[in-house]
Structure 1
């Protein structure tokens, strides 16, 4: 049996990792400035994280949610304290797309409505409900297209207000910063206006922090730079540092009943142990502050590179837009310079999502490799 094709696969096989580096089976060392789709938050193979998982697996790795799980409650307490959302409840699941599915379900239960407003360029996941609020026709099958979603432009507040007044809208969903579309930050006015309109029209506001959360932007959540408080916040990716886990932070106004939400694997002993270790390391090593500091240094240095047309993002969630498609540049960075970076739905944008514990030496090394790749690329184009 062969594997079903999902992604374009890099011709490298990784065998081990350490901090901000990964190693392939041929002995090559790669600087990781992508973190496996922003998943690696605390660095690869962090000793404290590894020790916590090993110790837990020797005790009990899994039992269902039919029993009391201490680790689940400990994770909720830690997340509430560190994020600033102590009064919210936490529902745990296994992935980002499940987080969004459940957030949409909660909003629909709460309002009794079924339509959703999402934004053009959005990406919220690959399961049916999440795909229905994802603006990418290539991913949406006829089955997924049955949902009733209105897609609007970020700045079209008049249209948003009209739809909220006149339609059967249960929720507005938006990313803290759009990642897959090429690192698009909608900014202060957007969040303030959307939150105000949702409140005015009794519409649930869901902010998807799956890629932009967990300290990546220099605040725990990207939206916390602005004076807004969403009804539901979805998380995953950096939450488990590679161990599958996701969740929904739920405003206290939402009522639950047994059977409303459920999961077989979500909130299990091992997943929660991973989530606890991540938060303890983020707190102990001041990784949110580090992301903010390293992000400022990296952005400052990137602005000196003339080949970059536009730089977007905050903290360690950065998009570099060039005036040429970046696939060749990415290949040179990976295969020649041995640095891992990401692409996006915008063929001209390179995505940088390194672990939050990078230091200035990692930044210097990355900048050197990027400059080398650009020199090689333009030399090749000029026949040199």
Structure 2
């Protein structure tokens, strides 16, 4: 049976990985500056992670949410401590799309409204409401288009005010650093005014932290760079270091009800073990401090390269913008220099999303290769 052909693939076949490196079937070493879409937070095959998952799967890998699971409680407590999101409640699921789907559903349940405001170049997932709130008509099927969504420009505070005052908006959903869309951010004033408008109009402010969360921005969550209090925070990618897990943090003012949300696999024992290993490692190895130090070093080197027209993002969620499309450059980096990087809907942007354990020597290796290719382009 052939695979359904929906992914354009690079001719690389990873068979193992360790730390910030991936190895193919020929034992060729690749520097991973993309982390599988920012999923690899604490490094491939981190011993804490391997031990936790191995021990858990050998005892109890899964049982349903009909029974007590102390690992869920332990994970929630650790997440509260490290994130600083005091008294929020945690609902666990399996992916970023599912997290945003549940965030939007919760907002609609609680406000009694159905319309969503989202933003140009935003990406929130591929499930029904999440994809409808995503600014990409190519992945929205007619069944998704039945959702009521208004897409506004980032920083259009008058547009947000106008839409919310119509009284039918259940949620405003935003990535505080856009991922696939190209690392754009709005102003602090915009985010803070949106937060205030939401609270004045019985509308939930949803922080999509699926890619920007778990320390990647230099704080535990990207919204923490601003003076805002989201009603719901969605998380996933870096949460399990490769094991499928997602969740939403729910403000303590929001009351739960039996049956309101549910999932078969979400919060299973194995997922919680992976999630706890990630949080413990972030804490023990002070990885958020490393994010800030390595980000500062990366940006300082990038500023010395004249072909780089713009440096976007925060922390280790960075983009290098050129005056040419970077598709061929990415191929050169993969095939000639054995370095993984990422692209975006902005075809001139090279995305950098490495494990949070990255060191200066890895950054130096990347820039040496990048400079070589940029010199070749000029010649």
Q: State the TM-score, normalized to the length of structure 1.
A: 0.97
Is the aligned partner of 1:260 residue 2:290? no
Q: Retained in 2: the 8 A contact 1:118–1:172? A: yes
Partner of 1:227: 227
Q: Deviation per CA, 1:72-108, whole angstroms, max 9, x where unpaired? A: 1100000011000120000000000000000001101
Is the aligned partner of 1:128 residue 2:150? no
Shift of 1:377: 3.2
Is the aligned partner of 1:187 residue 2:187? yes
Q: Retained in 2: the 8 A contact 1:311–1:320? A: yes
Partner of 2:36: 36
Structure 2: distance between partners of 1:187 and 1:90: 28
Shift of 1:213: 0.5
Gaps of 5+ in 2: none
1:230-245 matches, cutoff 5 A: 230-245=230-245
Structure 1: distance between partners of 2:376 and 2:5: 31
1:56-67 matches, cutoff 5 A: 56-67=56-67
Q: Deviation per CA, 1:112-154, whole angstroms, max 9, x where unpaired? A: 0000100111100011110010010111111111110011111
Give the match's secondary structure for 1:289: helix
Is the aligned partner of 1:361 residue 2:335? no
Give the match's secondary structure for 1:144: coil
Structure 1: distance between partners of 2:185 and 2:40: 21
Q: Retained in 1: the 8 A contact 2:57–2:270? A: yes
Structure 1: distance between partners of 2:212 and 2:252: 23
Partner of 1:151: 151
Shift of 1:371: 1.1
Shift of 1:191: 1.1
Q: Retained in 2: the 8 A contact 1:125–1:134? A: yes
Please say which of residues 8-17 and 368-377 is displaced more in the overlay. Answer: 368-377
Partner of 2:303: 303
RMSD in angstroms over aligned alpha carbons? 0.8
Q: Retained in 2: the 8 A contact 1:176–1:221? A: no
Give the match's secondary structure for 1:107: helix
Give the match's secondary structure for 1:166: coil
Partner of 2:212: 212
Shift of 1:362: 1.0
Q: Retained in 2: the 8 A contact 1:170–1:204? A: yes
Q: Retained in 2: the 8 A contact 1:31–1:339? A: yes
Q: Retained in 1: the 8 A contact 2:107–2:170? A: yes
Shift of 1:361: 1.0
Structure 1: distance between partners of 2:235 and 2:90: 10
Partner of 1:382: none
1:9-88 matches, cutoff 5 A: 9-88=9-88
Q: Retained in 1: the 8 A contact 2:239–2:245? A: yes
The runs of 4+ residues in structure 1 deviating greater than 4 Å are none
Q: How many residues align?
A: 379
Partner of 1:333: 333
Gaps of 5+ in 1: 380-384
Shift of 1:187: 2.8
Structure 2: distance between partners of 1:188 and 1:161: 16
Partner of 2:107: 107
Structure 2: distance between partners of 1:362 and 1:284: 22
Q: Deviation per CA, 1:316-352, whole angstroms, max 9, x where unpaired? A: 0001111111001000000001100000111111100
Structure 1: distance between partners of 2:90 and 2:300: 37
Give the match's secondary structure for 2:58: helix
Q: Retained in 1: the 8 A contact 2:167–2:201? A: no
Q: Retained in 2: the 8 A contact 1:37–1:353? A: yes
Structure 2: distance between partners of 1:354 and 1:157: 33
Structure 2: distance between partners of 1:378 and 1:34: 26
